[in-house]
Amino acid sequence: MEKVPLSKCLLNDEVKQAAMRALESGWYILAKECEAFERELAAHTGTKHAIVSSSLTAGMFLLHKAMGLKPGEEILVPSHTAFPSIEPMIHCGAKPIFIDIDETYCMDVELLEAAITPRTVGIMPVHLYGHPANMERIFEIARKHHLWVIEDCAQAQGAKYKGKTVGSMGVASGYSFFPSKNLTVMGDGGCICTNDDAIAEKIRMLRNHGRKDKYTHELIGYNLRMNEIQAAIGRVGLRHLDALNERRRAIAAHYNRRLKGIVKTPPEQSWARSVYHMYVIRSERRNELAKFLQQRGIGTGIHYPTANHQQPAVTKLYNDLPKLPKTEQAVQEILSLPIFGELSLNDVDYVCNSIEEFYGKK
């Protein structure tokens, strides 16, 4: 057992009671809990609709289908993100155009315009590690070139950009409830948020065999639904999300104070309110440091060790992949330290003491 794990799900009596309530209800798929979860998610994001699905990857695929993404079309997306950020578009035959990162690890907006071609249809910023991308500049460019913007909010539920909740700004946004995320359903789950009635309606049909009603299949759809037990658990997590995000911010501030001058700490822009899905430091001796911390019972992670434009599945597919110097450098040096809402500052101090020890300051 690790002394300090990298992350941990919220598991209290409320969660257990919610799961039992769903079990005993006799309804297991897309029923009352899912409907309530959708209403609560939409309210939290500040959008008209939230459509739950079996994962974010599934939801994003349905969103692309609902928006009519076509083979050959191009989407500007960071390479430095979870691999599933790019899978759904590729399944639709569209092509990810990989953009390098800035110092916040989000897409460098100054590189966007040069990457636009006549085939470009949209921009998909990823609010990585909980820090929002530079949305104002992204929208400026999107408007000028008639592109849509879809936000990947898997790591940033509740984060703010200039006071606006992420996921409420683009034509649609996606969330993941995978066990490592800030809000989890203790299984797979995800949702798409949007203000667009037609997109919402189409995703609802597509996720459930193209059904308009029980016996009418208006579209050839899929089975990418969410379960009631997952939704019931997610509803509890959502009630605690803002408080737990605040705790993450306090933990990050503590790390910042303790680690300043020892390692490169994660920046937060003045206009950003990050929810620190990950607390990511930089070290030129990253692998050694990770090993040292592991020996002290401290869980760490690398998000992610291989950039997507260098993944075998991608290099096999395209022969015109770009060089992304900042991304390629970052993946060598980044290290995610333990962070989750219930992590104690004592444990944070233990991690910081160990890092000081590694660098010979203690």
Q: Which spans of this chain sit near ligand PLP (rule: CB under 6 A)? A: 55-57, 81-82, 84-85, 126, 152, 154-155, 176, 178, 190
Rg (CA), the chain: 20
- The token duo for 24 is 């005993």
C-beta of 191: minimal distance to ligand PLP in Å? 9
Q: What are phi and psi of 107, to 5 degrees?
A: -60, 140
CB count within 10 Å of CB 234 equals: 29
What element of type H or E holds 123?
A: strand 120-123
C-beta of 108: minimal distance to ligand PLP in Å? 17
C-beta of 58: minimal distance to ligand PLP in Å? 7
Q: Give the nearer residue to ligand PLP in terms of CB position, either 147 or 156.
A: 156
The angle at the Cα of 9, spanning 193 to 152, to the nearest 5 degrees, equals: 25
| Per-residue exposure over 33-64, b if at least 16 CB sit within 10 Å of its own CB, e if not | bbeebbebbbebbebebbbbbbbbbbbbbbbb
Q: Give the nearer residue to ligand PLP in terms of CB position, either 107 or 289.
A: 107
Q: Give the nearer residue to ligand PLP in terms of CB position, either 231 or 352.
A: 231
C-beta of 156: minimal distance to ligand PLP in Å? 8
Q: Give the nearer residue to ligand PLP in terms of CB position, either 185 or 199.
A: 185
C-beta of 83: minimal distance to ligand PLP in Å? 8
C-beta of 297: minimal distance to ligand PLP in Å? 26
Q: What are phi and psi of 322, to 5 degrees?
A: -80, 165
Quickly list DSSP for 274-294. Answer: ---SSEEEE-TTHHHHHHHHH
> Which amino acid would we find at residue 148?
W
Q: Give the nearer residue to ligand PLP in terms of CB position, either 61 or 255.
A: 61
Q: What is the DSSP letter of 263?
A: S
C-beta of 232: minimal distance to ligand PLP in Å? 18
C-beta of 38: minimal distance to ligand PLP in Å? 16
What element of type H or E holds 97?
A: strand 95-99
Cis peptide before 215 (omega within 30 of 0): no
Q: Give the nearer residue to ligand PLP in terms of CB position, either 44 or 258.
A: 44
Residues 6+ apart with CB under 8 A from 157: 44, 166, 167, 175, 181, 182, 183, 241, 245, 275
Q: Give the nearer residue to ligand PLP in terms of CB position, either 128 or 281.
A: 128
Q: Give the nearer residue to ligand PLP in terms of CB position, either 57 or 354.
A: 57
